[in-house]
Amino acid sequence: MTPSNEDRIAYLAGEDVTSLPTDEVAALDALRAELGAAATWEEPPGELEDQVVMAVSRAAAEEPGVEDGVAERGTAASQERGPQRASSPSWWSRLRARIPLRGPALALSLSLPVAAVAAVVLVLATNSGNGTAPLQFAMVVQGTPLAPGAHGSATLTKTTSGWRIQLSARGLPRREGKDFYQAWLKNAAGILVPVGTFNDARRVTLWSGVPVTKFRTLTVTQQVANGDPKSSGRKVLIGTIR
C-alpha cells in the first residue's frame, strides 16, 4: 500500500503507522529524536547576547590598523552588496548599532600588556536616563602573572538588591575542596569589598552591596579556606571601569 503524507505526518506525531518504507521510517525516527532532544528546546541565557557583543567588540578593538573594525566591515559589505538579502555581511552593521560607539555613553580604553600584568578594559555604559533600562556596565578582564592565559568579561547591572556582576572568564582551572576563587571590588583608596566565592569562572554571578561607580576595580584571587577572610593577594583576573 502506498503511504500517504497523512501517514508520514501521523508517524511523525507518534502514531503507529505500518505503511511506511524502512528508509522513510528511519528518517522520521531521526527527526523525532531531534524533536525530543534538549538542544532543540533549551534557550541560551539572556546575558549571552551581551557576552557575544563584548567578545566581538573586543576582537574588533584588537584588530590592527582599523579604528572601528566593526563599522568598516559593515560599510564595505554594504557597498558590495547587491539586492537586499538578510544573509549578507551587512548584518555586521546591525552589530555596530548594538554597540554605542559615539557620545558620552561609551568610554573605550585599551592598554595592551607589555609586562605580564594586564588590565584591559572595554566599557559599555547603558544609561537608564529614561528609566526604561537598568544602569549597566561591561568590562573586559585579563589575566595576571599567576594566570597569563586567563581572560573574559563581566557585565555589572544595577538592581534593587545591589549590583549584579556576571563574570565569564576562561583560562582558569577549577578550584575545589579548600581551594576556591574570590572576587573583590576595590575603590581608589584601596578598600576591598568581597563580592563572592566560586569554583569555576566560566559563568559566575556575583553580588555587590557597594556601587561599582565608586569601587571600580574587579579582581579575582586564589584563596584557601584557612580561617583568614582577607585577600590572599594572589590575583588571577583584573578589570577596571574607567
Partner 1 sequence: MYREYGRLVFAVALRALGDRGLAEEVTQQCFVKAWRASAALDENRELGPWLVAITRRTAIDVYRRESLRTGAPLEAVAPDDPALMTSPPSAEALYETWEVRQAVGELPDDEREVVRLQHFAGMTHGQIADQLGVAVGTVKSRSFRAHKRLATALGHLKGETG
- Which one of residues 19, 21, 26, 34 is an interface residue with partner 1 (CB under 8 A)? 34
In this complex, which beta carbon is closest to partner 1, that of residue 31 or of residue 191?
A: 31
Size of the site for partner 1 (CB under 8 A): 55
- Amino acid identity, position 13: A
Residue 234, C-alpha cell as written in the block: 594572589
The answer to the question of residue 1 lying near partner 1 (CB under 8 A) is no
* Binding to partner 1, residues 36-55 (CB under 8 A): 36-45, 48-49, 51-53, 55
Contact 155, 165 (CB under 8 A): yes
Q: Which three cell numbers stand for residue 78?
A: 554594504
- Under the criterion CB under 8 A, does residue 59 sit at the interface with partner 1? yes
Contact 74/90 with Cβ under 8 angstroms? Answer: yes
9 touches partner 1 by CB under 8 A: yes
User: Which among 106-114, 126-134, 195-203, 215-223 is the span making contact with partner 1, rule CB under 8 A?
Assistant: 195-203
Q: According to CB under 8 A, which residues from 68 to 127 bind partner 1? A: 70, 73, 76-77, 80-82, 85-89, 91-92, 94-95
Q: Are 100 and 149 in contact (CB under 8 A)?
A: no
Question: How far apart are CB 40 and partner 1 at their closest, in Å?
Answer: 5
Asked if 203 touches partner 1 (CB under 8 A), the answer is: yes
Binding of partner 1 by 14 (CB under 8 A): yes
Q: Are 141 and 186 in contact (CB under 8 A)?
A: no
At 198, list the grid cell.
Answer: 566560586
Helices (H), the chain: 5-12, 22-35, 38-41, 48-62, 69-80, 91-98
Sequence-distant (≥ 6) Cβ neighbours of residue 157 within 8 angstroms:
134, 135, 136, 163, 164, 165, 166
Pairing relationship of beta strands 192-198 and 179-186 according to DSSP bridges: antiparallel
Q: Which grid cell is 89?
A: 555581511
Q: Pick one of 17, 60, 165, 237: the residue that binds partner 1 (CB under 8 A).
A: 60
Q: Pattern 117-156, binding to partner 1, x per CB under 8 A? A: ----------------------------------------
Which is closer to partner 1, CB of 80 or CB of 179?
A: 80
- Contact status: 13 vs partner 1 (CB under 8 A): yes
Backbone phi and psi for residue 44, each to the nearest 5 degrees, phi listed first? -70, 155
Task: Specify the residue for cell string 553580588.
Answer: 207
Q: Which residues bind partner 1 (CB under 8 A)?
A: 5-6, 8-9, 12-14, 24, 27-28, 30-32, 34-45, 48-49, 51-53, 55-56, 59-60, 70, 73, 76-77, 80-82, 85-89, 91-92, 94-95, 168, 170, 200, 202-203
